[in-house]
Amino acid sequence: MSLKVYNSYTRTKEIFEPLTPGHVGMYVCGPTVSGESHLGHARPFITFDIIYRYLLHLGYKVRYVRNITDAGHFEEEGRDAEDKISKKAVLERLEPMELVQKYTNLFHWAMKQLNNHEPSIEPTATGHIVEQLNMIQTIIDAGYAYETNGSVYFDVKKYAASHDYGKLSGRVLDDLLETTRELDGQEEKRDRADFALWKAAPPEHIMRWRSPWGEGFPGWHIECSAMATKYLGAQFDIHGGGMDLMFPHHESEIAQSTICNHHTPAKYWLHNNMITVGGKKMGKSYNNHIKLTEMFSGNHHLLTQPFSPMTIRFFILQTHYRSTLDFSSEALAGAEKGLKRLWEAYTLLQQLPAEHSGEAADPALDERCKSLILAFDEFMNDDFSTAKVLANMFELVPVVNSLKDGHIKRDAVAADTIRLMQQKFRIYLEDIFGLVQEQAADNSKLAGVMQLLIDIRGEAKSKKDFVTSDKIRNQLTGLGILLKDEKDGSVNWTLA
RNA sequence: GGUUCUGUGGCCGAGUGGUUAGGCAGAGCUCUGCAAAAGCUCGUACAGCGGUUCGAAUCCGCUCGGAACCUCCA
């Protein structure tokens, strides 16, 4: 059973075979740190975190590179060349690098909240200006770029004569050349489809570097090509990012890297789909985005309550990464409850004794459990179908709960099967899906206080003093602590 | 306009041509001092119209709706 991934480049599912056996190089387009991350940004980083974790689980040695775009991009073709970062820096009266630092820190904080692993290397665009300049020079020397007024453009038409420009995104070059839109700065280009490798900086532009063509700043696409080449080589295994980056960003990356390195850069291109709101893509420019800090605090008009990082992570895992995922407060609330139920069953499962004699008293049930569990790997190997793994887990929840409370006899399922479930649930929920117990700040003092209250309530109940016992339970409920009277007479509590 | 994708029960969402997706919400029952939780049972959905097929949510065509990209965008 081997891993299959959907390769956007060939539009088919392919068996994953790394270029170097045992090793995987993966590049994922990271954030532009000119503002705060929103829910939409969480999707690719969680998606590729799961992919990273799964590759590690399969035993690969993975180098995961995710860049920080801190140089700011000019607005493509057309409008005034403007650097988003420097523009905002003026508004906020901050140094560009101060702004970049602020949002980089916030991004890292959010990633940690969401329990994403850190990438192996997190290179910044500003830290790789030299590499970008070298790459641009190589492209010029190869005859695929030209300089005009201090800016350098990639010659798409020339490239397309011998290469398949548009293959990744399904673009037809003739259509691109025929775009009728009126665009500023177009006159510097030989063709409309050409894209900038280097832009001359206007005087007011704060971020600027010296180059053989004058002072300026790098084009939109070159940083990823330069940094991917530097850290992963001329050819690497996986390039990931949001679907909205396929064109022109990834298409241009392919063209640049191909000219420099004589290879298409990545063997497999993986793209996650968008998060939508009422069917429309969530995005900064659509005015429908919810920042991650707002998600966590609940402080947004589209939210009826706060949602924890794990709820968001779980919500994203419940759908396939190549499908759109429609956001609503209601859908998130559903995910929150589902996660709670799953996690409680998982906790109970880990406490189930698996010591009885071995043979399953209910072979049909035992078999069902095993096949549900064994399908986990099959689903993940089929282009990372996290939603299906979760569905199977939910099918096992009633079994676990029933084993716990005696609806199903303990020996109905073989001890080996219990151990298999315990092991697989742990590996999948914690190692691969990266879910963690929230509010783990279960400190021992609170536990002691709770035990005291539970004892007092137990005494009241034994005297049929239900006024007192209900007062304790109701007031705790008001504080967000739920008491549960178990079948065996014990009392458990959970934080709501 | 071009390219691509998509339309599943109250909501979110899996779906490889024939067998239960799953979650949330809702209803009933069991358990319980009462709750909560849990367990059991239930809705019987696939935009519309044709076609292929013994059989289609799943393949094909058309119609209608939605989206993404074509501009910064995860």
Through-space separation of residue A369 CA and nucleotide B44 C1' in angstroms: 26
Coil, strand, or helix at residue A76?
coil
The predicted-structure confidence for A197-242, as pLDDT tens digits, reads as follows: 998 988 767 788 999 999 999 988 999 999 999 999 999 999 999 9
Buried b or exposed e, range A51-68, using 16+ CB within 10 angstroms:
bbbbbbebebebbbbbbb
Nucleotide nearest to A460 (CA to C1'): B33
Coil, strand, or helix at residue A61?
strand
| A348 domain-assigned | yes
Asked if residue A177 and residue A86 are part of one domain, the reply reads yes
Through-space separation of residue A112 CA and nucleotide B19 C1' in angstroms: 44
Q: How many CB atoms lie within 10 A of CB A318?
A: 17
Please tell me which of A261-270, A445-454, A457-466 the model is most confident about, judged by mean pLDDT. A261-270
Nucleotide nearest to A37 (CA to C1'): B74
What is the spatial distance between Cα A49 and Cα A386, in angstroms, rounded to a whole number?
12
| A8 domain-assigned | yes
Asked if residue A372 and residue A293 are part of one domain, the reply reads yes
Asked if residue A138 and residue A34 are part of one domain, the reply reads yes
Q: Inform me whether the pLDDT recorded for A74 exceeds 60.
A: no
Through-space separation of residue A394 CA and nucleotide B27 C1' in angstroms: 22
Nucleotide nearest to A275 (CA to C1'): B74
Beta bridge partners of A266: A236
Scan for tokens 């290397």, then name that residue. Answer: A121
- Give me the pLDDT at residue A207, please: 83
Tokens of A296: 């966590």
The predicted-structure confidence for A467-483, as pLDDT tens digits, reads as follows: 998 898 888 888 878 88
Q: Inform me whether the pLDDT recorded for A434 exceeds 80.
A: yes
Asked if residue A311 and residue A216 are part of one domain, the reply reads no
Residues 6+ apart with CB under 8 A from A309: A113, A114, A115, A296, A438
Stretch A266-271: mean pLDDT: 95
- Nearest Cα neighbor of A45 from A12, A67, A63 is A67
What is the spatial distance between Cα A137 and Cα A144, in angstroms, rounded to a whole number?
10
Q: Which domain holds residue A412?
A: 280-432
Q: Does A31 sit behind a cis peptide bond, omega within 30 degrees of 0 on the bond before it? A: no
As a 3-state breakdown, chain A gives helix, strand, coil percent values, each rounded to 5, of 50, 15, 35
Asked if residue A28 and residue A176 are part of one domain, the reply reads yes
- Give me the pLDDT at residue A72, please: 64
Binning pLDDT at 50, 70 and 90, where does residue A494 land?
A: confident
- Give me the pLDDT at residue A443, please: 66
- Nearest Cα neighbor of A45 from A403, A312, A380 is A312
Nucleotide nearest to A171 (CA to C1'): B3
Binning pLDDT at 50, 70 and 90, where does residue A92 land?
A: low
Task: Please tell me the total count of domains within chain A.
Answer: 3
> Which residue is nearest nucleotide B24, judged by alpha carbon to C1' distance?
A334
| A352 domain-assigned | yes
Asked if residue A319 and residue A194 are part of one domain, the reply reads no
- Give me the pLDDT at residue A185, please: 57
| A438 domain-assigned | no
Asked if residue A46 and residue A20 are part of one domain, the reply reads yes
Through-space separation of residue A194 CA and nucleotide B2 C1' in angstroms: 18
Asked if residue A85 and residue A13 are part of one domain, the reply reads yes
| 8 A C-beta contact, residue A339 and residue A369 | no
Asked if residue A299 and residue A268 are part of one domain, the reply reads no
Coil, strand, or helix at residue A321?
coil
Nucleotide nearest to A477 (CA to C1'): B36
The predicted-structure confidence for A366-405, as pLDDT tens digits, reads as follows: 999 999 999 999 999 999 999 999 999 999 999 999 998 8
Asked if residue A385 and residue A262 are part of one domain, the reply reads no
| 8 A C-beta contact, residue A137 and residue A212 | yes
- Nearest Cα neighbor of A342 from A433, A442, A420 is A433
What is the spatial distance between Cα A402 and Cα A412, in angstroms, rounded to a whole number?
11
Binning pLDDT at 50, 70 and 90, where does residue A192 land?
A: confident
| 8 A C-beta contact, residue A400 and residue A419 | no
> Which residue is nearest nucleotide B7, judged by alpha carbon to C1' distance?
A279
- Give me the pLDDT at residue A65, please: 97
Through-space separation of residue A268 CA and nucleotide B53 C1' in angstroms: 37
Q: Inform me whether the pLDDT recorded for A91 exceeds 70.
A: no
The predicted-structure confidence for A32-44, as pLDDT tens digits, reads as follows: 988 889 999 999 9
- Give me the pLDDT at residue A11, please: 86
- CATH number of the domain bearing residue A287: 1.10.730.10
The predicted-structure confidence for A118-169, as pLDDT tens digits, reads as follows: 999 999 999 999 999 999 999 999 999 999 999 999 999 999 999 989 889 8
Binning pLDDT at 50, 70 and 90, where does residue A179 land?
A: low
Q: At what angle do helices A329-351 and A415-426 cross, to 10 degrees?
A: 140
Beta bridge partners of A195: A154
DSSP state of A277: E
Tokens of A383: 């282009």
Asked if residue A474 and residue A420 are part of one domain, the reply reads no
- Give me the pLDDT at residue A441, please: 55
Chain B bases near protein CB atoms (7 A cut-off): 1-5, 11-15, 21-25, 31-40, 66-74
The domain boundary residue, chosen from A272, A292, A317: A272
| A320 domain-assigned | yes
Note the ipTM here: 0.93
| A437 domain-assigned | no
Through-space separation of residue A474 CA and nucleotide B34 C1' in angstroms: 12
- Give me the pLDDT at residue A83, please: 55
Asked if residue A353 and residue A248 are part of one domain, the reply reads no
pLDDT, mean over chain A: 88
- Give me the pLDDT at residue A445, please: 73
